[in-house]
A and B are shown apart, each in its own frame.
Chain A
Amino acid sequence: MNSRAAELAVEDLTVTHGRRPAVHHVSFRLAPGQMMALVGPNGAGKSSLLRAIAGLHGAAEGRIRCAAPVALLPQANSLDRSFPLTCRDAVLFGLWNEAGGFRPIARPERAIAALEAVGLAGFANRPVGSLSAGQFQRVLFARLLLQDAPVILLDEPFNALDARTAADLLRVVRRWHGEGRSILAVLHDLDLVRREFPSTLLLAREVIASGDTAQVLSAENRMRARMMAEAWAEDAAPCERAAA
């Protein structure tokens, strides 16, 4: 496993949908080996922020600096689960940076080992269309295992999973953390955040608070975040902090 530590620095980042900001003027630093939760109400811009860091959404302003490859676990419901693909083939896409589109894949049995590591031994030839939501999420985790990236972004990794699956996948996340990888995870279960994540970034289109989890998740901060995420002015003026 690749345990190169890498820092992720986000500086004054703005991501927009049209002229509306999904997030604006967001700055934070994910230190090498740090495990951080990204928390905020629905519509706070958490997924947009992750997609921008992964290079899927252009930044309107600001910078993202990271010297190492970044791997993203997307929300599982964004994918077609009836796609005619075996688990093995779906997981092997995790080796894209190594094999690309044309080269033969060296040691493809790594996909089987990755499936075993996420509790899917014997699933290699199963079509992904036959999997439950939890099993499909395990396949996406196995793909992340093969990506072997020093910085891992997880978008609601434990959503709609049974307790056993969530616990198994949390163990995988802990293992990544133990290997020195940096992890940024969008989560809604605040008890889980308090228990497992030492630091937290609370987002509501802009950073409400960041740092030690207990302090960030104060009742006052959470109330402020909710009010800011729900605010919607039809006649909002141009942002004064925006570059001309």
Chain B
Amino acid sequence: MLDGLIGPFAEFGFMRRALVGCVALSLAAPPLGVFLMLRRMSLTGDVLSHAILPGVAVGFLVAGLSVPAMALGGLVAGLVIAVMAGAISRATGGREDAALAALYLTALAAGVLLISWRGSAVDLSHILFGSVLGVDDAALAMMGIAASATLLFLALAWRPLILECFDPSFAQAVGARGSLWHLGLMALVVLNLVAAFQAVGTLMAVGLMMLPAIAARHWTRGIGAMVTLAAGFALLGSLAGLLLSFHLDVPSGPAIVLVTAAVWAASLLFGTVDGLLARWWPRRHLSG
């Protein structure tokens, strides 16, 4: 049993690299997910995860499976779509869901088409769903940079970001430059998604960001606790997902996301805040 848990990491360098990378992502991505969720922008995270695909594909067409080229392409495409999504949101007064759905379908189709044009089915699967074998030194460095930049940004922008999420009009009225901090948040979301795609794939990267955040909301009513809990859930999902991926020989991205989804499902059922069980089988009400 213990051998099955520790063995793969003790024995194989690529598993250790994948673990270190996923730990870095697990510390950084879920806090961003918490802020996206609080801003009611969970769908935007999904859009951005699809949006980086055409850019990654262009990088792949130019330089093959080169991490810097694909990362640069993904970063540019993600930032362009993030700005477009923001413009659509402002133009529609927050009723942007239909336009965002159109955006991410377009991005997904364009990305798959570009990769299939020159690459093999293996390349496509690798880019969409990730591979622990893909976490080379360059990818690991990228994850480290993304995580460090995110944690620094969150430490600096904690108060303005909370204000911007809670009451954007008030933030604007007192000159808190909320939209600037929000733009920084979106840029870091893109950076984390790009950094994550080697290990978990472009489509699955957003899962490590949003699922732990949504799960954490079922256990606490405080932002600090929510962020900490979300990172904890992501660490658990990463570790268990990588082991599943190794032992069952399945892609790492879906494995990590499915474990994290199981945590979310358990939170939805048993969570102390808006959990379903508490609703279905209410306990005796309190005296005051």
Residues of chain A at the chain B interface (Cβ within 8 Å): 51, 54-56, 70-72, 74, 78-80, 83-86, 89-90, 93, 96-97, 101-102, 127, 129-130, 147
Contacts of A130 in B (CB 8 A): 221
A96-B163, A101-B159 are known contacts. Are A72 and B173 too (CB-CB below 8 A)?
Answer: yes
- Whether the pair A102, B156 counts as a contact (CB closer than 8 A) is yes
Contacts of B160 in A (CB 8 A): 101
A74-B167, A129-B221 are known contacts. Are A85 and B162 too (CB-CB below 8 A)?
Answer: yes
How far is the CB of A83 from the nearest CB of chain B, in Å?
5
Q: Which of B157, B174, B217 is close to A96, meaning CB atoms less than 8 Å apart?
A: B174
How far is the CB of A74 from the nearest CB of chain B, in Å?
6
Complex Cα–Cα for A93 and B217 (A): 23
- Whether the pair B172, A55 counts as a contact (CB closer than 8 A) is yes
A96-B176, A101-B159, A101-B176 are known contacts. Are A85 and B169 too (CB-CB below 8 A)?
Answer: no
Q: Which of A55, A90, A102, A129 is close to B173, meaning CB atoms less than 8 Å apart?
A: A55
How far is the CB of B169 from the nearest CB of chain A, in Å?
5
How far is the CB of B166 from the nearest CB of chain A, in Å?
5
Contacts of A74 in B (CB 8 A): 167, 169-170
**Segment 237-266 of B: residues with Cβ below 8 Å from A:** none
Closest to A143 in B: B170
Contacts of B234 in A (CB 8 A): none
Interface: B41 (CB within 8 A): no
Of the candidates A54, A90, A93, A127, the one having the most CB atoms from chain B within 10 angstroms of its own CB is A93
A55-B173, A127-B221 are known contacts. Are A85 and B166 too (CB-CB below 8 A)?
Answer: yes
Closest to B166 in A: A83
Q: Which of A56, A80, A84, A97 is close to B221, meaning CB atoms less than 8 Å apart?
A: A84
- Whether the pair B38, A83 counts as a contact (CB closer than 8 A) is yes
Residue-wise interface mask of B (170-198) relative to A, using a CB-CB cutoff of 8 A (1 in contact, 0 not): 10111010000100000000000000000
How far is the CB of B153 from the nearest CB of chain A, in Å?
12
Q: Which of B162, B163, B174 is close to A97, meaning CB atoms less than 8 Å apart?
A: B174
